[in-house]
Structure 1
Amino acid sequence: MIFKSAQAPSPLQNPSAEMGRVEELVTSLPVATICFDVNGGFICANSEFRALVQGSSIDFERLSKDELCAQLESARDLPSLTPEVGVFGAKQAPVAELSQLSNGRVVELLERTLKIEGVGEYKLQQWVDHTPMARSCSETESEMRLLLELINQVPDQIYFKDVNSRFTRINPSLAKRYGIASASEALGKSDADYYSKEHAQQTRAEELEIMRTAKPVFNQMHHEVWDNGSESWNVSTKMPMFNSKGEVVGVTGISHDITEHKRREADAWRQANYDSLTTLANRNYFLQQLSARLTRAKHTG
């Protein structure tokens, strides 16, 4: 930041006039600004800066530039606002170096060098007030935290997919089901990476239809065949996802595993219809088959 003067006096000719020019420039800036000399000593601050720190514990006129920076560093304990892409509840990275003053204001520190030709060089700190944004982000983060607690703890599998049916996010329950250490390992992959080719083709066809019609499918039973030949059952709900323009950009779903229920159901049927010693069909089985055939014969004439 360089300011030129048509009649630039020597820095030694009129120090008071020079300081007056510096204060005038700092005062004219619309952002909260404090000015220091090259050694870090306080020179002046504009009214925006004084209003910003009013009510805080910062005695800025008694602090050097480095001491003021140290106070801001110690106040950088705000929660981060941007989660790592693709992972529910991952460690978050801050979008800016924000500090919260004791008066509740949230600021970002920007440092500038002010050079006035014929006068000298000065150090500026501009404190950008992000309080409204920080409050809004804090409220959003609180809501997100509640949602993430549900998503991360529920035993059902939750996932988001793009238009190519590739995972963009999955929850820990689905990661565990896939036998992977981290949910991020599934990003960019599809059902074809975990299930048999036939099952992957079936789910892809279902998701294409959901995206085509933009209509959800509720409580659909799936018989899953994994790439290692094992089998499982689940009941799933899938819904289309939309962007801000209302365009379909993928699908989201939640699946509830009913494999154990299906096994118990099969065991109960087997015990009811087969002898435990001979493993042969018992009287109850024959009676059921006879009843079913008689019913069919009656309907067919």
Structure 2
Amino acid sequence: MCPDNPDKPSAQIFKQLAHTLDSEDYTPDTPLLTSLIHSLPLNVYAKDTEGRFIFANRQYCGSVNLEHSEIIGKNDFEIHPGEMAEKYRQDDRKIMESRQPVTIEEAWQSIGGKRGYVQVVKAPLFDAEEQDKVIGTVGIFWDITDRKQAEIDLAEERNLLRTLIDNLPDAIYVKDKSGRFLVANSRVAKIMGANHHRDLIGKTDFDYYHREYAKKYHNDEQQILKNNKPLYDLEETVRIGDGTLRWFLTSKIPLNNINGEVIGIIGVGHDISQRREEENQRQRLEAQLQHAQRIETVGTLVAGIAHDFNNHLSVINGYAELLTLLPNTESSQREEFAKKILQAGKSAAVLTNQLMAFSKKQVIQPRIVDFNSLLSDIVNLLRPILGEHIDVELDLDPDIHHVEIDPTQVEQVVMNMAVNSRDAMPQGGTFRLATENIRLEEQATNNQTPFNLPAGDYIRLTVYDSGTGIQKEIRDRVFEPFFSTKEKNKGTGLGLSTVLGIIQQNGGTIELRADETPGTTFEIYLPGKMNVTDDILTESKTTDVDGGNETIFIAEDEQNVRALTQTILLAKGYKVFCGADGEDALRIISQNNLSVDLLLTDIIMPNINGKELAEKLLKQHPKMKVLFMSGYSDDTLSRYDISQKGTDFIRKPFKTDILTRKVRDLLDDG
């Protein structure tokens, strides 16, 4: 395309080029230089001051697909697209004005050719005779399209990755081995309180987080670096820039270089705060639903208990009247009357305590219990709930395993099921509770136990009633919350769902047995406890307790309770003083200048309550012991903050020996 032997103008331009390249050995007739320039795998050209081509080597001719004669005398606008030609022309003017060479990367395309990229060295062309005179421009360039495209692709990838990680809701970051941020997205910057993700680069968690949080994150990451193993689904608390505490589910993996060496960690954190809040809200709702169910059952329970309670009161009042009406009764008969009164009072106290334990909202406190004994006690509550037209039967395995559970939860389970059974037997029938030991083994076919419970020893509580039964069509729905077969406004549908929640909470399950026989049978499975020693189950037995001569002050607003307590303690030899409330107690102690060894005070009293009274007296008598007493539920007492460690408390009604033991133990302590 280009001539092998340049014509005279070409030879002249070689001379100019040689001058530009500071070659002192050039002569116009040197064929080596001519051959060299045309043989270079580089594009070489020269233009005059008007931008007309005055030289192009063979490589350039091939690049624009033109003959040498077709290039000489033309300008960039005749060879390149207009926008490129305009740029090239402006570059030439700047170079001629500055008289300095430049190296640039630019787009390049001939008319009708493919677009590409070149790296160009452009320089002013000086006259060979008048060496200070610029007569045009000279350029040498080579194709860098592949490299440039790779750079563009890489830049696009980086932009895509940057756009992606900045718009993801998750926190994404990369740290080096020292915990310094190498990459962080906008979410991380927002969490840490930085203005921009670039502000984090080179910084560590210690620059932004409280040291307690930063140290935990750092320790986790150092463990990853040490073991070269990831940590998945790690729950982390983060206090973000505005002070809000958030929860993140974070996965961190080691970052390895091409040689497999650990050089840092990659972290991705997903904000689960809303999920945690929803979970907490669900737990609160479940607790409220269970409490509502207990309250609903209590309404039924109270009506039945009132019947039994009135019977106990009839015994107490009747024998008390006999004692007053028959003053000359023989001592043996009077003692018998007193025993009857005492027994009835104890039975009434048991009913009251069971009712309070069942109805109150409380923190679950599992303990190892004798399940048969617990069921036997609950039966006393069942009879008034079920009514006299329903027989209650117990079939208890005498060797039943012990169970670790909160007794009030067992009461709630049995009560809810008893109420359902009662409603299914309006004309009367049988309600039966049966216990037996059972061992669940993994089945060879699927390596699972029945009900997907862990293999092991369980107790099975079977609850049966001879009522109308449950229709097949709704058997699969009986444990659904708010599902009820009762008439509108006759039930909440919370009974069996509450039972299911309690049983599952304690590691068991409940099944509706698909019997064809009349009535309904549920089977409850709970993990059994083996080899339980007697000392775990047996409460300390009370014996006769010695008295003393210490000074005790009783603050109690109920006159009869105050008088009874004073009589009990006086009988043990103590010096006992009494006050009707907190104010009365402070006045009496001050007027008599009493040195009090032990204060026995009701918590809830008018004027000054027991907590305030104790605080005031302890300032005057720092060695004084304090024993609080109350008949209110834990919910009510919680407002008086007496649950802290070291606080001594006795619940009304109390037995004489328990009171005297508690008093003696406190006085002997220190």
Instruction: Look up the SS of the partner of 1:238 in the other structure.
Output: strand
Contact 2:117–2:143 (Cα < 8 Å) also in 1: yes
Instruction: Look up the SS of the partner of 1:2 in the other structure.
Output: coil
Instruction: Look up the SS of the partner of 2:149 in the other structure.
Output: helix
Aligned to 2:234: 220
Counterparts of 1:53 and 1:291, CA distance in 2: 93
Aligned to 1:97: 105
Aligned to 1:31: 42
What is the correspondence of 1:144-293 to structure 2 with a 5 Å cutoff?
A: 144-225=158-239, 230-273=244-287, 286=362, 288-290=364-366
Query: Counterpart of 2:365 in structure 1: which amino acid?
Result: Q
Q: 1:158 to 1:283 in 2, by over 3 A?
A: farther
Counterparts of 1:259 and 1:74, CA distance in 2: 58
Report whether the alignment pairs 1:5 with 2:19.
Answer: no
Contact 2:190–2:240 (Cα < 8 Å) also in 1: no
Counterparts of 1:153 and 1:65, CA distance in 2: 45
Q: 1:256 to 1:49 in 2, by over 3 A?
A: same
Specify the structure having the higher radius of gyration (Cα).
Answer: 2
Residue 177 of structure 1: how far off its partner (Å): 2.4
Residue from 59, 69, 76 that aligns with 1:48: 59
Residue 202 of structure 1: how far off its partner (Å): 0.8
Residue from 401, 404, 416 that aligns with 1:295: 404
Contact 2:186–2:197 (Cα < 8 Å) also in 1: yes
Counterparts of 2:32 and 2:126, CA distance in 1: 12
Q: 1:100 to 1:254 in 2, by over 3 A?
A: farther
Counterparts of 2:173 and 2:128, CA distance in 1: 61
Residue 150 of structure 1: how far off its partner (Å): 2.6
Q: 1:211 to 1:62 in 2, by over 3 A?
A: farther
Counterparts of 1:124 and 1:269, CA distance in 2: 81
Deviates more, 1:143-152 or 1:169-178: 143-152
Instruction: Look up the SS of the partner of 1:169 in the other structure.
Output: strand
Deviations 1:239-278 (A, max 9, x none): 11122333222111110011121122222223333579xx
Counterparts of 1:152 and 1:189, CA distance in 2: 19
Counterparts of 2:198 and 2:124, CA distance in 1: 43
Q: 1:65 to 1:113 in 2, by over 3 A?
A: farther
Residue 139 of structure 1: how far off its partner (Å): 3.8
Q: 1:147 to 1:249 in 2, by over 3 A?
A: same
What is the correspondence of 1:56-95 to structure 2 with a 5 Å cutoff?
A: 61-64=72-75, 72=84
Contact 1:34–1:126 (Cα < 8 Å) also in 2: yes
Counterparts of 1:117 and 1:243, CA distance in 2: 56
Residue 168 of structure 1: how far off its partner (Å): 1.5
Report whether the alignment pairs 1:132 with 2:140.
Answer: no
CA RMSD of superposed structures (Å): 4.0
Q: 1:290 to 1:245 in 2, by over 3 A?
A: closer
Counterparts of 2:126 and 2:151, CA distance in 1: 37
Contact 2:77–2:85 (Cα < 8 Å) also in 1: no
- Structure 2 residue runs without a partner (length 5+): 1-20, 89-103, 293-356, 370-402, 407-528, 533-670
Residue 146 of structure 1: how far off its partner (Å): 4.0
Contact 1:33–1:127 (Cα < 8 Å) also in 2: yes
Q: 1:126 to 1:184 in 2, by over 3 A?
A: same
Query: Counterpart of 1:202 in structure 2: which amino acid?
Result: K
Counterparts of 1:63 and 1:288, CA distance in 2: 96
Aligned to 1:85: none
Instruction: Look up the SS of the partner of 2:148 in the other structure.
Output: helix
- Structure 1 residue runs without a partner (length 5+): 9-16, 77-95
Q: 1:153 to 1:28 in 2, by over 3 A?
A: same
Counterparts of 2:29 and 2:358, CA distance in 1: 108
Deviations 1:275-300 (A, max 9, x none): 79xxxx99586484347985279468
Instruction: Look up the SS of the partner of 2:212 in the other structure.
Output: helix
Q: How many aligned residue pairs are there?
A: 266
Report the TM-score, using the length of structure 2 for normalisation.
0.34
Query: Counterpart of 1:244 in structure 2: which amino acid?
Result: I
Q: 1:220 to 1:60 in 2, by over 3 A?
A: farther
Residue 227 of structure 1: how far off its partner (Å): 7.8
Counterparts of 1:236 and 1:47, CA distance in 2: 62
Counterparts of 1:194 and 1:166, CA distance in 2: 12
Instruction: Look up the SS of the partner of 2:404 in the other structure.
Output: helix
Residue 71 of structure 1: how far off its partner (Å): 5.0
Report the TM-score, using the length of structure 1 for normalisation.
0.70
Counterparts of 2:197 and 2:152, CA distance in 1: 25
Counterparts of 1:153 and 1:204, CA distance in 2: 26
Aligned to 1:110: 121
Q: 1:20 to 1:268 in 2, by over 3 A?
A: same
Query: Counterpart of 1:210 in structure 2: which amino acid?
Result: I
Q: 1:75 to 1:123 in 2, by over 3 A?
A: closer
Query: Counterpart of 2:260 in structure 1: which amino acid?
Result: G
Query: Counterpart of 1:32 in structure 2: which amino acid?
Result: N
Q: 1:151 to 1:229 in 2, by over 3 A?
A: closer
Instruction: Look up the SS of the partner of 1:195 in the other structure.
Output: coil
Q: 1:24 to 1:61 in 2, by over 3 A?
A: same
Contact 1:26–1:35 (Cα < 8 Å) also in 2: no
Contact 1:53–1:103 (Cα < 8 Å) also in 2: no
Counterparts of 1:300 and 1:228, CA distance in 2: 54
Query: Counterpart of 1:5 in structure 2: which amino acid?
Result: D
Residue 62 of structure 1: how far off its partner (Å): 4.3
Query: Counterpart of 1:53 in structure 2: which amino acid?
Result: V
Name the structure where helix makes up a greater proportion of residues.
2
Q: 1:53 to 1:296 in 2, by over 3 A?
A: farther
Counterparts of 1:62 and 1:300, CA distance in 2: 109
Counterparts of 1:283 and 1:50, CA distance in 2: 100
Higher RCO, Cα 8 Å, sep 6+: 1
